[in-house]
Structure 1
Amino acid sequence: MYPLVLASSSAYRKTLLARLAQPFEAVAPDIDEQPLPGEAPEAMVRRLSEAKARALAEQFPAHLIIGSDQVAVIGDQVLTKPGNFEGASQQLRAQSGRRVRFLTGVAVLNSQTGRCSIDLVPTDVVFKKLADEEIRSYLRRDEPYNCAGSFRSEGLGICLFDAIHSTDPSALIGLPLIRLCQMLREHGYNLL
Protein backbone atom coordinates (compact mmCIF):
# COMPACT_ATOMS: atom_id res chain seq x y z
CA MET A 1 0.00 0.00 0.00
CA TYR A 2 1.15 3.51 -0.74
CA PRO A 3 2.14 5.68 2.24
CA LEU A 4 -0.35 8.39 3.21
CA VAL A 5 0.29 12.14 3.13
CA LEU A 6 -2.11 14.76 4.43
CA ALA A 7 -1.80 17.98 2.44
CA SER A 8 -2.65 20.26 5.34
CA SER A 9 -1.28 22.18 8.28
CA SER A 10 -4.66 21.96 10.08
CA ALA A 11 -4.44 20.49 13.57
CA TYR A 12 -8.12 19.46 13.22
CA ARG A 13 -7.50 17.47 10.05
CA LYS A 14 -4.41 15.83 11.57
CA THR A 15 -6.42 14.77 14.62
CA LEU A 16 -9.20 13.39 12.43
CA LEU A 17 -6.85 11.43 10.17
CA ALA A 18 -5.06 10.03 13.23
CA ARG A 19 -8.36 8.33 14.19
CA LEU A 20 -7.76 5.87 11.35
CA ALA A 21 -4.69 4.52 13.17
CA GLN A 22 -2.49 4.60 10.06
CA PRO A 23 0.92 6.25 9.75
CA PHE A 24 0.89 9.46 7.73
CA GLU A 25 2.91 12.56 7.13
CA ALA A 26 1.30 16.02 7.20
CA VAL A 27 2.74 18.78 5.01
CA ALA A 28 1.24 22.19 4.29
CA PRO A 29 0.66 22.73 0.56
CA ASP A 30 1.58 26.09 -0.93
CA ILE A 31 -1.41 27.09 -3.06
CA ASP A 32 -3.50 30.19 -3.73
CA GLU A 33 -6.84 29.59 -2.01
CA GLN A 34 -8.66 32.57 -3.53
CA PRO A 35 -11.90 31.80 -5.39
CA LEU A 36 -11.90 32.18 -9.15
CA PRO A 37 -14.21 34.83 -10.63
CA GLY A 38 -17.77 33.50 -10.72
CA GLU A 39 -16.75 30.18 -9.18
CA ALA A 40 -19.52 28.34 -7.32
CA PRO A 41 -18.67 27.31 -3.73
CA GLU A 42 -18.99 23.60 -4.56
CA ALA A 43 -16.59 23.94 -7.50
CA MET A 44 -14.15 25.98 -5.40
CA VAL A 45 -14.04 23.39 -2.59
CA ARG A 46 -13.47 20.54 -5.05
CA ARG A 47 -10.79 22.50 -6.95
CA LEU A 48 -8.91 23.49 -3.78
CA SER A 49 -9.05 19.97 -2.32
CA GLU A 50 -7.47 18.60 -5.48
CA ALA A 51 -4.98 21.48 -5.77
CA LYS A 52 -3.75 20.87 -2.23
CA ALA A 53 -3.11 17.20 -2.99
CA ARG A 54 -1.46 17.91 -6.35
CA ALA A 55 0.80 20.57 -4.81
CA LEU A 56 2.70 17.81 -2.97
CA ALA A 57 2.86 15.26 -5.80
CA GLU A 58 6.43 16.07 -6.82
CA GLN A 59 7.66 15.95 -3.22
CA PHE A 60 5.84 12.63 -2.60
CA PRO A 61 5.98 10.74 -5.94
CA ALA A 62 4.64 7.33 -4.81
CA HIS A 63 2.02 8.18 -2.19
CA LEU A 64 -1.68 8.62 -1.60
CA ILE A 65 -2.04 12.34 -0.93
CA ILE A 66 -5.16 13.61 0.82
CA GLY A 67 -6.34 17.18 0.26
CA SER A 68 -9.36 18.83 1.86
CA ASP A 69 -11.04 22.22 1.91
CA GLN A 70 -14.14 23.68 3.55
CA VAL A 71 -16.40 26.70 3.26
CA ALA A 72 -19.71 27.73 4.79
CA VAL A 73 -22.50 29.06 2.60
CA ILE A 74 -25.44 31.26 3.60
CA GLY A 75 -27.53 31.91 0.49
CA ASP A 76 -25.00 33.33 -1.99
CA GLN A 77 -22.50 34.38 0.67
CA VAL A 78 -19.39 32.24 1.27
CA LEU A 79 -17.82 32.24 4.74
CA THR A 80 -14.20 31.16 5.11
CA LYS A 81 -11.85 31.51 8.09
CA PRO A 82 -12.63 34.80 9.88
CA GLY A 83 -9.06 35.49 11.05
CA ASN A 84 -9.96 37.64 14.06
CA PHE A 85 -12.57 38.47 16.71
CA GLU A 86 -14.42 41.06 14.61
CA GLY A 87 -14.65 38.81 11.55
CA ALA A 88 -15.85 35.90 13.70
CA SER A 89 -18.45 38.12 15.41
CA GLN A 90 -19.83 39.17 12.03
CA GLN A 91 -20.00 35.57 10.83
CA LEU A 92 -21.80 34.32 13.94
CA ARG A 93 -24.29 37.21 13.83
CA ALA A 94 -24.99 36.36 10.17
CA GLN A 95 -25.54 32.67 11.05
CA SER A 96 -27.70 33.32 14.13
CA GLY A 97 -31.11 31.64 13.79
CA ARG A 98 -30.33 30.34 10.30
CA ARG A 99 -29.57 27.11 8.48
CA VAL A 100 -26.01 27.20 7.10
CA ARG A 101 -24.52 24.71 4.64
CA PHE A 102 -20.91 23.63 5.16
CA LEU A 103 -19.20 22.12 2.13
CA THR A 104 -16.22 19.90 2.87
CA GLY A 105 -14.23 18.66 -0.09
CA VAL A 106 -11.84 15.73 -0.06
CA ALA A 107 -9.41 14.51 -2.70
CA VAL A 108 -7.21 11.42 -2.79
CA LEU A 109 -4.38 11.55 -5.30
CA ASN A 110 -2.20 8.60 -6.23
CA SER A 111 0.91 10.60 -7.08
CA GLN A 112 2.50 7.69 -8.92
CA THR A 113 -0.37 7.06 -11.35
CA GLY A 114 -1.90 10.56 -11.33
CA ARG A 115 -5.35 9.14 -10.55
CA CYS A 116 -7.33 11.52 -8.35
CA SER A 117 -10.70 10.96 -6.69
CA ILE A 118 -12.58 14.06 -5.54
CA ASP A 119 -15.82 14.40 -3.61
CA LEU A 120 -17.79 16.85 -1.51
CA VAL A 121 -19.74 16.19 1.68
CA PRO A 122 -22.38 18.77 2.68
CA THR A 123 -23.41 19.40 6.27
CA ASP A 124 -26.37 21.56 7.24
CA VAL A 125 -26.11 23.32 10.59
CA VAL A 126 -29.10 24.99 12.21
CA PHE A 127 -27.88 27.79 14.47
CA LYS A 128 -29.90 28.83 17.48
CA LYS A 129 -30.74 32.51 17.83
CA LEU A 130 -27.60 33.99 19.39
CA ALA A 131 -27.47 37.06 21.60
CA ASP A 132 -24.48 39.38 21.12
CA GLU A 133 -23.22 38.55 24.62
CA GLU A 134 -23.33 34.81 23.82
CA ILE A 135 -21.29 35.44 20.68
CA ARG A 136 -18.71 37.54 22.54
CA SER A 137 -18.47 35.02 25.39
CA TYR A 138 -18.09 32.10 23.02
CA LEU A 139 -15.39 33.81 20.94
CA ARG A 140 -13.38 34.84 24.02
CA ARG A 141 -13.46 31.27 25.33
CA ASP A 142 -12.93 29.23 22.15
CA GLU A 143 -11.10 31.66 19.77
CA PRO A 144 -12.18 29.84 16.55
CA TYR A 145 -10.56 32.39 14.22
CA ASN A 146 -9.00 29.76 11.95
CA CYS A 147 -12.27 27.85 11.45
CA ALA A 148 -14.69 28.32 8.55
CA GLY A 149 -17.90 29.61 10.09
CA SER A 150 -16.21 30.79 13.32
CA PHE A 151 -16.84 27.82 15.62
CA ARG A 152 -15.40 24.52 16.80
CA SER A 153 -18.20 21.95 16.81
CA GLU A 154 -15.96 19.47 18.62
CA GLY A 155 -15.78 21.90 21.56
CA LEU A 156 -17.92 24.65 23.05
CA GLY A 157 -19.18 25.58 19.58
CA ILE A 158 -21.72 22.75 19.81
CA CYS A 159 -23.70 25.04 22.14
CA LEU A 160 -24.38 27.39 19.20
CA PHE A 161 -26.56 24.85 17.34
CA ASP A 162 -30.11 23.55 17.35
CA ALA A 163 -29.24 20.70 14.91
CA ILE A 164 -26.62 19.22 12.58
CA HIS A 165 -27.63 17.22 9.49
CA SER A 166 -24.92 15.22 7.70
CA THR A 167 -24.03 11.78 6.42
CA ASP A 168 -20.57 12.19 7.98
CA PRO A 169 -20.17 13.96 11.35
CA SER A 170 -16.42 14.41 10.87
CA ALA A 171 -17.03 16.52 7.74
CA LEU A 172 -18.04 19.51 9.85
CA ILE A 173 -14.70 19.38 11.67
CA GLY A 174 -12.83 19.49 8.35
CA LEU A 175 -12.18 15.99 6.97
CA PRO A 176 -15.05 13.62 6.03
CA LEU A 177 -13.65 10.34 7.36
CA ILE A 178 -16.47 8.09 6.15
CA ARG A 179 -16.05 9.25 2.56
CA LEU A 180 -12.25 9.27 2.91
CA CYS A 181 -12.26 5.60 4.01
CA GLN A 182 -14.34 4.71 0.94
CA MET A 183 -11.99 6.65 -1.36
CA LEU A 184 -8.88 5.06 0.15
CA ARG A 185 -10.42 1.60 -0.42
CA GLU A 186 -11.06 2.57 -4.07
CA HIS A 187 -7.33 3.35 -4.32
CA GLY A 188 -6.40 -0.07 -2.90
CA TYR A 189 -5.62 1.11 0.62
CA ASN A 190 -7.18 -1.35 3.07
CA LEU A 191 -7.62 0.31 6.46
CA LEU A 192 -8.70 -2.90 8.17
Structure 2
Amino acid sequence: MTSTSSLPQIVLASTSPFRKMLLEKLGLPFVTAKPEVDETPNPSETVAEMVNRLSLAKAEAIAPHHPDALIIASDQSASFQGRPIGKPHHYENAVEQLRQFSGQTVTFRTGLVVLDTRHNLTLQTLDETHVTFRSLSEIDIHNYLILEEPYQCAGSFKSEGLGITLFESIEGKDPNALIGLPLIDLTHFLRQCGLQLPYLPD
Protein backbone atom coordinates (compact mmCIF):
# COMPACT_ATOMS: atom_id res chain seq x y z
CA MET A 1 0.00 0.00 0.00
CA THR A 2 1.24 3.49 -0.87
CA SER A 3 1.43 5.58 2.30
CA THR A 4 1.10 9.34 2.45
CA SER A 5 4.79 9.68 3.29
CA SER A 6 5.90 7.67 0.24
CA LEU A 7 3.38 9.13 -2.17
CA PRO A 8 5.16 11.22 -4.82
CA GLN A 9 3.97 14.72 -5.48
CA ILE A 10 1.19 14.69 -8.06
CA VAL A 11 0.91 17.71 -10.33
CA LEU A 12 -2.02 18.40 -12.62
CA ALA A 13 -0.64 20.45 -15.51
CA SER A 14 -3.85 22.40 -15.91
CA THR A 15 -5.84 25.13 -14.22
CA SER A 16 -9.12 23.87 -15.71
CA PRO A 17 -11.73 23.59 -12.95
CA PHE A 18 -13.26 20.63 -14.80
CA ARG A 19 -10.03 18.62 -14.90
CA LYS A 20 -9.41 19.49 -11.25
CA MET A 21 -12.89 18.25 -10.36
CA LEU A 22 -12.29 14.99 -12.24
CA LEU A 23 -8.92 14.30 -10.62
CA GLU A 24 -10.44 14.93 -7.19
CA LYS A 25 -12.60 11.84 -7.79
CA LEU A 26 -9.53 9.64 -7.23
CA GLY A 27 -9.00 10.98 -3.72
CA LEU A 28 -5.32 11.71 -4.27
CA PRO A 29 -3.56 14.82 -2.94
CA PHE A 30 -2.34 16.97 -5.83
CA VAL A 31 -1.39 20.47 -6.84
CA THR A 32 -2.11 22.31 -10.06
CA ALA A 33 0.24 24.22 -12.33
CA LYS A 34 -0.37 26.21 -15.48
CA PRO A 35 1.80 25.05 -18.41
CA GLU A 36 2.99 27.81 -20.69
CA VAL A 37 2.50 26.17 -24.09
CA ASP A 38 1.77 27.63 -27.52
CA GLU A 39 -1.36 25.76 -28.61
CA THR A 40 -1.31 26.94 -32.22
CA PRO A 41 -1.94 23.94 -34.52
CA ASN A 42 0.77 22.93 -36.94
CA PRO A 43 -0.49 23.24 -40.53
CA SER A 44 0.16 19.63 -41.53
CA GLU A 45 -0.93 17.76 -38.37
CA THR A 46 -4.17 15.89 -37.78
CA VAL A 47 -6.38 16.60 -34.77
CA ALA A 48 -5.08 13.43 -33.10
CA GLU A 49 -1.47 14.42 -33.71
CA MET A 50 -2.09 17.90 -32.31
CA VAL A 51 -3.76 16.57 -29.16
CA ASN A 52 -0.93 14.11 -28.54
CA ARG A 53 1.71 16.79 -29.14
CA LEU A 54 0.09 19.34 -26.84
CA SER A 55 -0.55 16.84 -24.04
CA LEU A 56 3.14 15.95 -24.00
CA ALA A 57 4.23 19.57 -24.33
CA LYS A 58 2.15 20.56 -21.31
CA ALA A 59 3.70 17.83 -19.17
CA GLU A 60 7.22 18.70 -20.32
CA ALA A 61 6.65 22.40 -19.60
CA ILE A 62 5.94 21.59 -15.96
CA ALA A 63 8.61 18.91 -15.50
CA PRO A 64 11.66 21.17 -14.82
CA HIS A 65 9.87 22.67 -11.82
CA HIS A 66 8.93 19.28 -10.32
CA PRO A 67 11.92 16.89 -10.52
CA ASP A 68 10.39 14.28 -8.18
CA ALA A 69 6.76 14.08 -9.21
CA LEU A 70 4.03 12.51 -11.29
CA ILE A 71 2.82 15.09 -13.78
CA ILE A 72 -0.60 14.64 -15.36
CA ALA A 73 -1.37 16.54 -18.55
CA SER A 74 -4.22 16.45 -21.01
CA ASP A 75 -5.40 18.18 -24.16
CA GLN A 76 -8.66 17.90 -26.05
CA SER A 77 -9.99 18.85 -29.44
CA ALA A 78 -13.15 18.08 -31.35
CA SER A 79 -13.75 17.51 -35.04
CA PHE A 80 -16.85 17.48 -37.21
CA GLN A 81 -16.82 15.97 -40.70
CA GLY A 82 -13.04 15.83 -40.50
CA ARG A 83 -12.58 19.50 -39.56
CA PRO A 84 -11.42 20.81 -36.18
CA ILE A 85 -14.04 22.61 -34.09
CA GLY A 86 -13.09 25.80 -32.33
CA LYS A 87 -14.63 27.77 -29.48
CA PRO A 88 -17.59 29.89 -30.60
CA HIS A 89 -16.75 32.90 -28.35
CA HIS A 90 -20.22 34.40 -28.79
CA TYR A 91 -23.89 33.52 -29.23
CA GLU A 92 -24.16 33.78 -33.01
CA ASN A 93 -21.26 31.39 -33.66
CA ALA A 94 -22.58 28.96 -31.05
CA VAL A 95 -26.00 28.90 -32.75
CA GLU A 96 -24.34 28.09 -36.07
CA GLN A 97 -22.25 25.29 -34.54
CA LEU A 98 -25.22 23.63 -32.88
CA ARG A 99 -27.32 23.93 -36.04
CA GLN A 100 -24.61 22.02 -37.91
CA PHE A 101 -24.44 19.34 -35.21
CA SER A 102 -28.20 18.66 -35.17
CA GLY A 103 -28.66 14.95 -35.90
CA GLN A 104 -24.92 14.57 -36.56
CA THR A 105 -21.89 13.07 -34.79
CA VAL A 106 -18.93 14.98 -33.37
CA THR A 107 -15.68 13.23 -32.42
CA PHE A 108 -13.73 14.33 -29.35
CA ARG A 109 -10.09 13.32 -28.96
CA THR A 110 -8.60 13.63 -25.48
CA GLY A 111 -4.89 13.13 -25.01
CA LEU A 112 -3.39 12.02 -21.70
CA VAL A 113 0.22 12.01 -20.52
CA VAL A 114 1.62 10.92 -17.17
CA LEU A 115 5.25 11.96 -16.83
CA ASP A 116 7.13 10.35 -13.92
CA THR A 117 10.08 12.67 -13.41
CA ARG A 118 11.51 10.35 -10.72
CA HIS A 119 12.27 7.67 -13.30
CA ASN A 120 12.15 9.60 -16.59
CA LEU A 121 9.08 7.58 -17.62
CA THR A 122 6.46 8.89 -20.04
CA LEU A 123 3.09 7.18 -20.49
CA GLN A 124 0.76 8.46 -23.19
CA THR A 125 -2.59 7.57 -24.74
CA LEU A 126 -5.44 9.05 -26.79
CA ASP A 127 -9.15 8.60 -26.07
CA GLU A 128 -11.86 9.00 -28.71
CA THR A 129 -15.47 9.76 -27.84
CA HIS A 130 -18.24 10.05 -30.42
CA VAL A 131 -21.18 12.30 -29.51
CA THR A 132 -24.34 12.09 -31.59
CA PHE A 133 -26.70 15.02 -31.24
CA ARG A 134 -30.45 14.65 -31.37
CA SER A 135 -32.41 16.78 -33.83
CA LEU A 136 -32.24 20.26 -32.36
CA SER A 137 -34.92 22.89 -32.84
CA GLU A 138 -34.15 26.59 -32.82
CA ILE A 139 -35.75 26.91 -29.37
CA ASP A 140 -33.64 23.97 -28.08
CA ILE A 141 -30.50 25.77 -29.21
CA HIS A 142 -31.55 29.19 -27.95
CA ASN A 143 -32.68 27.99 -24.52
CA TYR A 144 -29.53 25.96 -24.00
CA LEU A 145 -27.18 28.79 -24.95
CA ILE A 146 -28.98 31.35 -22.79
CA LEU A 147 -28.92 29.02 -19.78
CA GLU A 148 -25.33 27.77 -19.99
CA GLU A 149 -23.42 30.29 -22.15
CA PRO A 150 -20.81 27.74 -23.34
CA TYR A 151 -18.98 30.27 -25.49
CA GLN A 152 -15.49 29.25 -24.35
CA CYS A 153 -16.14 25.54 -25.00
CA ALA A 154 -15.24 23.83 -28.28
CA GLY A 155 -18.49 22.62 -29.79
CA SER A 156 -20.68 25.12 -27.92
CA PHE A 157 -21.73 22.81 -25.11
CA LYS A 158 -20.73 21.55 -21.67
CA SER A 159 -21.24 17.81 -21.36
CA GLU A 160 -20.80 18.07 -17.58
CA GLY A 161 -23.82 20.39 -17.49
CA LEU A 162 -26.96 20.87 -19.53
CA GLY A 163 -25.16 19.91 -22.73
CA ILE A 164 -26.18 16.33 -22.01
CA THR A 165 -29.76 17.33 -22.91
CA LEU A 166 -28.66 17.90 -26.51
CA PHE A 167 -27.35 14.37 -27.06
CA GLU A 168 -28.85 11.29 -28.64
CA SER A 169 -25.95 9.06 -27.59
CA ILE A 170 -22.32 8.96 -26.45
CA GLU A 171 -19.98 6.23 -27.67
CA GLY A 172 -16.66 5.88 -25.91
CA LYS A 173 -14.66 4.06 -23.26
CA ASP A 174 -14.73 6.69 -20.54
CA PRO A 175 -17.38 9.40 -20.04
CA ASN A 176 -14.86 11.42 -18.04
CA ALA A 177 -12.76 11.87 -21.19
CA LEU A 178 -15.47 14.01 -22.74
CA ILE A 179 -15.20 16.44 -19.81
CA GLY A 180 -11.42 16.59 -20.20
CA LEU A 181 -9.55 13.83 -18.33
CA PRO A 182 -9.74 10.07 -19.12
CA LEU A 183 -9.78 8.64 -15.59
CA ILE A 184 -9.78 4.97 -16.60
CA ASP A 185 -6.53 5.32 -18.54
CA LEU A 186 -5.16 7.63 -15.85
CA THR A 187 -5.67 5.07 -13.08
CA HIS A 188 -3.90 2.44 -15.22
CA PHE A 189 -0.94 4.79 -15.68
CA LEU A 190 -0.77 5.72 -11.99
CA ARG A 191 -0.69 2.04 -11.04
CA GLN A 192 2.18 1.52 -13.48
CA CYS A 193 3.97 4.30 -11.57
CA GLY A 194 3.55 2.41 -8.30
CA LEU A 195 0.44 3.97 -6.79
CA GLN A 196 -2.14 1.86 -5.00
CA LEU A 197 -5.64 2.70 -6.21
CA PRO A 198 -8.14 3.02 -4.66
CA TYR A 199 -5.93 5.24 -2.47
CA LEU A 200 -6.44 5.01 1.31
CA PRO A 201 -4.69 7.85 3.18
CA ASP A 202 -2.82 7.03 6.41
Q: Quick check: 1:113 aligned with 2:115?
A: no
Structure 1 runs of 4+ with >3 Å offset: none
Counterparts of 1:43 and 1:74, CA distance in 2: 16
1:54-89 per-residue CA deviation (whole Å, 9 max, x = no partner) reads: 110111111111110111111221113333323322
Question: Hey, what's the Cα distance between the residues in 2 that align with 1:82 and 1:9?
Answer: 21
Structure 2, unpaired ranges of 5+: 1-6
Question: In the alignment, which residue of structure 2 is the partner of 1:68?
Answer: 74
Name the CA distance, whole Å, in 2 between partners of 1:86 and 1:114: 47
Amino acid at match of 1:159: T
Shift of 1:113: 2.9
Tell me the matched-pair count: 192
SS of structure 1 residue aligned to 2:56: helix
Deviation for aligned residue 1:2: 1.7
**Counterpart Cα distance in 2 of 1:88 and 1:8:** 25
Please show how residues 5-44 of structure 1 align to structure 2 within 5 Å.
Answer: 5-44=11-50
In structure 2, distance between residues paired with 1:94 and 1:175: 26
TM-score calculated relative to the size of structure 2: 0.90
Counterpart check, 1:51 vs 2:51: no
Query: Residue 64 of structure 2 aligns to a residue in which SS?
Result: coil
| Residue 4 of structure 1 pairs with residue 10 of structure 2 | yes
TM-score of the superposition, structure 1-length normalised?
0.95
Alpha-carbon distance between aligned partners in 2 of 1:96 and 1:165, rounded to the nearest angstrom = 17
Residue of structure 2 in register with 1:78 after alignment? 84
Unmatched tracts of structure 1, length 5 or more: none
Q: Tell me the distance in 2 between the aligned counterparts of 1:46 and 1:96.
A: 28
